[in-house]
Amino acid sequence: CRFSYFCFVFFLFPLSFFLFPLCFVCFCSVFLIAGVFLSCSPFGLPRPPVCACNKCLMEHDQWLSERTKESPEPFLSPTNNISEDTFNWWKYDRRNFAFYNKIVDKVFQIFPTKVNFTRSSPDLCRTCAVVGNSGNLNGSHYGPLIDFHDIVIRINRAPTKGFERDVGNKTTYHVMYPNSFRNLDNTTHLLFFPFKIYDLQWLIRFFTQRIDSDYDMLLSKNSTFFNSFMKYVHQIWLKQKGRYPSTGFITLVLSLHMCDEVSVFGFGADKNGNWNHYYEPLRNKRLRTGQHPGKLEYQFIVKLHEQQKINFFRGW
């Protein structure tokens, strides 16, 4: 566009001595047209911002776009249930799809049917800290940096009391399933990952049996849950390596949909190669990642960091 604009002006310049009024009109017309064309993204200039950050996560990137475009809506709702094929991939017992749907109907008789989180906007910069539980957080002094983010997402047990210096104390969303459940305060949203039908049944029992006001508040305002987005993560991101993704890696991929800038803490082994938790003494140096493809997940985190899609803080 710029080349055409300057060529056109150069061509008209000798005639301007004789046809100045006509030249002036043509000059203005070309200038206006060029201005319109040059503001459009197909001509190589920046697209309108999708967020107010210096660099938005969802700015066009072919490698990341190929993965995110495959993503289903991550949150379960009455209008966004899973297919029977996905159910058959997800289930861990012999109960059938009809039984599963009855349980889901009961869930939404208790819990909110809408997921409330802030969507991307040119006026907002949603900064998120995804905090894992690796022992590499010990001695990191990351606490203030973690709490500085708009949204802090913690996973499973993830205690903060007594560990504030290294992990902070702010929690916006807490990802859990029955085996890792812990009490939450009224300012924290629950992201519930059901790995089997029993987990949904547990959720119903737990919240219908609680009668105290704190859990009434959590139930009515702050709870949401999450379904088999894990199939997408397992197949598209991990190429079906391992039996299923870790809760931490699913959370990280989810954060790419919820945030404009993502910082990752507490993933991977410690500096001595041990896979352990920051809140537990190291008792077993042979502990690995079990049925999760831990090394592959870690490689993806490093790749996202190297491609400047996330900020990865290793802790050592």
Catalytic site residues? 244, 292
Report whether 248 belongs to an annotated binding site.
Answer: yes
Q: Give dist(CA 241, CA 300) in Å, integer.
A: 13
Q: Give dist(CA 142, CA 170) in Å, integer.
A: 12
Helical segments of the chain, H only: 2-12, 20-38, 62-68, 84-90, 97-110, 143-147, 164-167, 197-209, 213-221, 229-232, 247-258, 294-306
Q: How far is CA 71 from its chain centroid? A: 12
Closest CA to 268 of 257, 255, 252: 252
Report whether 244 belongs to an annotated binding site.
Answer: yes
To the nearest 10 degrees (0 to 180), the angle between helices 20-38 and 2-12 is 180
Report whether 94 belongs to an annotated binding site.
Answer: yes
Q: Give dist(CA 59, CA 48) in Å, integer.
A: 10
Three-class DSSP labels, 1-54: CHHHHHHHHHHHCHHHHCCHHHHHHHHHHHHHHHHHHHCCHHHCCCCCCCCCCC
Report whether 133 belongs to an annotated binding site.
Answer: yes
Report whether 92 belongs to an annotated binding site.
Answer: no
Report whether 268 belongs to an annotated binding site.
Answer: yes
Report whether 60 belongs to an annotated binding site.
Answer: no
Radius of gyration of the chain (CA): 26
Give me the torsion for CA of 274, 279, 282, 287, rounded to 10°.
-50
Report whether 215 belongs to an annotated binding site.
Answer: yes
Q: Assign 130 to helix, strand or coil.
A: strand
Going from the C-alpha of 51 to that of each of 48, 58, 91, 115, the distances in angstroms are: 9, 9, 38, 21
Binding-site residues: 94, 133, 156, 215, 244, 248, 268, 277, 292
Binding-site residues for substrate: 94, 133, 156, 215, 244, 248, 268, 277, 292
